[in-house]
Amino acid sequence: MPHLLKKAVLFCAISVCAVAAEPVAQVAPVAPHTPYYRPATARVRPHLSASDVAVVSAASFLPGISPGGLVTVFGQNLTDVSGTVVAGTDPLPNQLANTSVLINGRYAPVYAISYANGEDQISVQVPYNTPTGPGAAQVEIINYGITVARLITDSYDEDPGIFTYQGNYAVALRYPDYSLVGPGNPVVPGDILILFTTGLGPLSISLRDGYGAPSNPPAITIDPFQVMVAGRQSKVLFSGLGPGFVGLYQINLQLPFDLPAGNLDIQIFSPYANSQLATLPVR
């Protein structure tokens, strides 16, 4: 995850962010939307055979997508990339290394493409206006103008996932030195952290696909999120997109003061969905 951390120092707002209220325009009534969240039966990572193609959360690696979040397509014979190609632009391109991904006919901005462990991996942002529901998303992978794979997948209004590294350590930075938390740099109870996530759902402002999130005003999650560490509730200071990033959410939090030492479970909760378990080293 080092490439995700380079711009973390651009965001130093650890206190609660406020967004000025704006007049609400009168709009025609629309049919109510029925939110869709990951059922318990879908909380298992897919086991792929040589011929399978799957699209999963780029953080939890659970199957399915969430509008605005980051996902990864896994499969074989999807691209001719032999190493790793990262877009490194804002906005992200609709095509990278002659490869593109369509979700319900709309280009998904491409973050990176790589070949590792015998599989092609294509990381993209899910377009914000993607519909949600069981089997609501049709994903099409195109290479050199030719469709090489198609699949149908579920689309969730929220699908929280914590980015991890070196197995299952949560990708988190300690404030104020922005050092990466890990087994050699454990946290202390009461520390303030920036936890990197994706799939936290609807935001306070409308954004364009593939563009880095703004900092003023920040893009804040509509639903409230909690972060539990070893069963204890942390104090959430901010929940929204990381300014300058595409599809990368962050939760700024203060750890409880009564945490025990050890490799502790950390997990995100909203009123409707929860993340996978990750590991947070505490001393």
- For 45-72, what is each residue's pLDDT tens digit? 666 555 689 999 999 999 999 999 999 9
174 and 149 both lie in a single domain: no
Read off the pLDDT of each residue in 247-258 and give the average, rounded to a whole number: 98
Alpha-carbon distances, residue 6 vs 10, 11, 88, 245 (angstroms): 9, 11, 12, 10
Amino acid, res. 155? S
Asked if the structure places residue 21 within a domain, the reply is: no
Say if CB 70 and CB 124 are below 8 A apart. yes
Distance CA 231, CA 24 (A): 40
Residue 19 within any structural domain of the chain: no
Report d(CA 126, CA 68) in Å as an integer: 5
Alpha-carbon distance of 235 to 31, in angstroms, equals: 36
pLDDT above 90 covers a percentage of the chain that reads 82
Domain that holds residue 172: 160-282
Confidence of residue 33 (pLDDT cuts 50, 70, 90): confident
Count of other CB atoms within 10 angstroms of residue 42: 15
Q: 217 with 231, same domain? A: yes
Q: For residue 39, what pLDDT band results from cuts at 50, 70 and 90? A: confident
What is the pLDDT at residue 256? 98
Assigned domain for 44 exists? no
Of 134, 155, 176, the residue that ends a domain is 155
pTM score, whole prediction: 0.87
When the pLDDT of each residue in the chain is averaged and rounded to a whole number, the result is: 89
Query: Does some domain include residue 246?
Result: yes
Angstrom distance (rounded) from CA 211 to CA 186: 33
> Based on the domain organization, do 168 and 194 belong to the same domain?
yes
211 in the same domain as 168: yes
Tell me if 40 is assigned to some domain.
Answer: no
Assign 108 to helix, strand or coil. Answer: coil
Q: Identify the domain boundary among 130, 155, 180.
A: 155
Work out the average pLDDT over 16-29: 39
Domain count, the chain: 2
Q: What is the pLDDT of residues 111-133, one digit of tens each?
A: 999 999 999 999 999 999 999 99
Residue 74, domain CATH: 2.60.40
Q: Are residues 185 and 125 in the same domain?
A: no
Q: Are 145 and 229 part of one and the same domain?
A: no
* Final residue in a domain of this structure, among 126, 155, 184: 155
Q: How many CB atoms lie within 10 A of CB 69?
A: 28
**Bridge partners for 197 per DSSP:** 162, 249
* Residues 183, 83 within the same domain: no
Residues 59 and 86 in one domain: yes
Is the residue at 15 inside a domain? no
User: What's the N-to-C CA distance of the chain in angstroms?
Assistant: 23
Reading phi first (left if > 0) and then psi (alpha if -120 to 50, else beta), residue 5 is in alpha
Pair 95, 53 in one domain: yes
Considering the domain boundaries, does residue 3 fall inside one? Answer: no
Shortest CA distance to 243 belongs to which of 271, 267, 212, 265? Answer: 212
**Is residue 39 in some structural domain?**
no
